[in-house]
Structure 1
């Protein structure tokens, strides 16, 4: 595993554990010689994870749409900054450049990125691990809902098992090391007329 994409908030959130988790993730990636791929911002958890990785001697690739480069204040100190035309291009490039994906706390953009990359795995568009770093129990409610989706038959057990959960960077990165994606057939029942 040479690179990991981190999805996280452009806000720091209101709990100190969120920033601590972002710093720990940035340091862990640098210590393992893994390049951080992220949304390119210098603010919020995005900036914190990038700064921590850089301070620990790591490599950071930022990918930011041109229209957000000013609004989110594109990070000027990253190893490699890619300016793209759209959010779609950003997400596609993040997938291409990354060997795994981890969501830290964030808002609807973070959730959208997480669910899209997990869906791509379910559909066989990539075979890379996907995980959540559950800092301060941030994702507890989401995990309960995902378990309900599985119990009610909307998410298959194989798909549910694709999403790794850990409360430390090392727990996730160690789980990713031996990852073999399950076979998930996506079954769509056609309506009989």
Structure 2
């Protein structure tokens, strides 16, 4: 079964559009019969994507550090909740368990996760698709800056696919994985 790691904001008090995007992404992932691998929280976009995936019948796997279990309200409804010692272990576990990654809008934690999977892909440690799902241009400034950065190789930039819609993002993953719906 195809497992998709989704990185996104776990903040509370977010604008409804971000929560709706996460929920719809979870439901779309479920409609393809894919498993969700998330950061294991039940709040913010992270909770919304897990709830959407479950509402569509998807299996959900959450990976959370011991220190964040209480702080982020662990997703106890996950089919599998893995508690690890630290953030490095969390990212490594998510990378191992995922066949591809979708990155939704988020803060520093989401950027950290994006750069971790991007860097490890650039080093050839994995060849898993990475898609920025960016319907509103959230990542446009970052991508523009990186395109001009003198130390970022063009082939590294090509490791990330930018898509503006959920269907386009998941289609890009399906093409890369040669998954038939």
Q: TM-score, normalised by structure 1?
A: 0.87
Alpha-carbon RMSD: 1.5
Query: 1:12 & 1:145 partners in 2: Cα distance?
Result: 28
Equivalent pairs counted in the alignment come to 177
Which residue is equivalent to 1:21? 21
Secondary structure, in 3 states, of the residue corresponding to 2:116?
helix
Greater gyration radius: 1
The structural deviation recorded for 1:123 is 0.3
Report if aligned partners of 1:17, 1:135 keep a CA contact under 8 Å in 2.
no
Report if aligned partners of 1:34, 1:59 keep a CA contact under 8 Å in 2.
yes
Find out whether 1:154 has 2:151 as its counterpart: yes
Query: 1:117 & 1:171 partners in 2: Cα distance?
Result: 20
Q: Which segments of 5 or more consecutive residues in structure 1 lack a partner in the other structure? A: 181-193
Which residue is equivalent to 2:80? 80
The structural deviation recorded for 1:172 is 1.2
Report if aligned partners of 2:7, 2:110 keep a CA contact under 8 Å in 1.
yes
Q: TM-score, normalised by structure 2?
A: 0.92
Query: 2:68 & 2:151 partners in 1: Cα distance?
Result: 35
Worse overlay, 10-19 or 26-35: 10-19
Report if aligned partners of 2:35, 2:59 keep a CA contact under 8 Å in 1.
yes
Q: Which segments of 5 or more consecutive residues in structure 2 lack a partner in the other structure? A: none
